[in-house]
Amino acid sequence: MNQLTAERPNYGNWVSTKLLYIPGVLGVLFAALSVLFPWLGILAVIFLLCFAYFAYARWCFSPEGKNIQTKIQSLLVDHFEWAGTGKVLDIGCGSGAVTIMVAKKYPDAHVTGIDYWGGAWEYSKGVCERNAQIEGVSNRVTFQKASASSLPFDDESFDAVISNLTFHEVADTEEKGLLIKEALRVLKKGGVFVFQDLFLWKRVYGEVEDLLDRVRSWGVESVELIHTSQSQFIPKALKLPFMVGTIGILRGRK
């Protein structure tokens, strides 16, 4: 067994360590200062509660905890039904988890994962490439730095497009629906798309029926929304709108 096959992939955690350190440090600081200024005790309690919540969420998402992150990614890949030959694009691939799952599910596919890899996440192109090598699919995956808001690909250059929990994160596009339009631009006519995001959060995407009508107006043959937020395996505490309580899968054919 060579060294890489003995190693385990690192898919990171959607709750970054920053989300723990910042409220944790502020909570302890305000708790200490509340000895002098008692009213700061309220802030200390708020920050320590935030710390406790994010620590629990991080444990739920991790493989050592409830493994919810992998289960949500698998849920998307399970809903990705495709002939299996050709080129797939994974938008916002993070640590490469979905890209690699797709490559393993479809041995005749080549999968390209793109991501912005900004400072908010503990992901990188190097982490993706290492994971792909450990999982034995590095000859059929490519990772590239790019933004979901302006994909560096010609129109109709992919046979299928997939994306998991990325569009709501894209800071330079206020109207998140436009990211779906951009993803559909690079999809071939007759190709399959499957996107999971906070589609049931009206503040981000508006009414579901309006969203579906907009997607239809961009010339797709079929589109449906599958409500995944109420899946049994997701703990109640994670079903807040900004966590995974409003996730859904938008899938169809162009």
Ligand X SMILES: C[S@@+](CC[C@H](N)C(=O)[O-])C[C@H]1O[C@@H](n2cnc3c(N)ncnc32)[C@H](O)[C@@H]1O
Binding site for ligand X (CB under 6 A): 14, 73, 92-94, 97-98, 115-118, 121, 123, 147-149, 164-166, 169-170
Compute the distance between CA of residue 120 and CA of residue 19 in angstroms, rounded to an integer: 10
**By C-beta, is 47 or 182 nearer to ligand X?**
182
Nearest distance, CB of residue 93 and ligand X, angstroms: 6
Compute the distance between CA of residue 198 and CA of residue 179 in angstroms, rounded to an integer: 13
**In this structure, are residues 102 and 90 in contact, taking their beta carbons and an 8 Å threshold?**
yes
**By C-beta, is 128 or 211 nearer to ligand X?**
128
Nearest distance, CB of residue 44 and ligand X, angstroms: 29
Nearest distance, CB of residue 51 and ligand X, angstroms: 20
**By C-beta, is 93 or 225 nearer to ligand X?**
93
Nearest distance, CB of residue 55 and ligand X, angstroms: 18
Closest residue to ligand X in the complex (CB) = 94
Phi, psi (rounded to 5 degrees) for 155: -55, 145
**By C-beta, is 27 or 94 nearer to ligand X?**
94
In the block, residue with structure tokens 């793109």: 114
Task: Give the strand pairing for 187-197 and 248-253.
Answer: antiparallel
Compute the distance between CA of residue 117 and CA of residue 120 in angstroms, rounded to an integer: 8
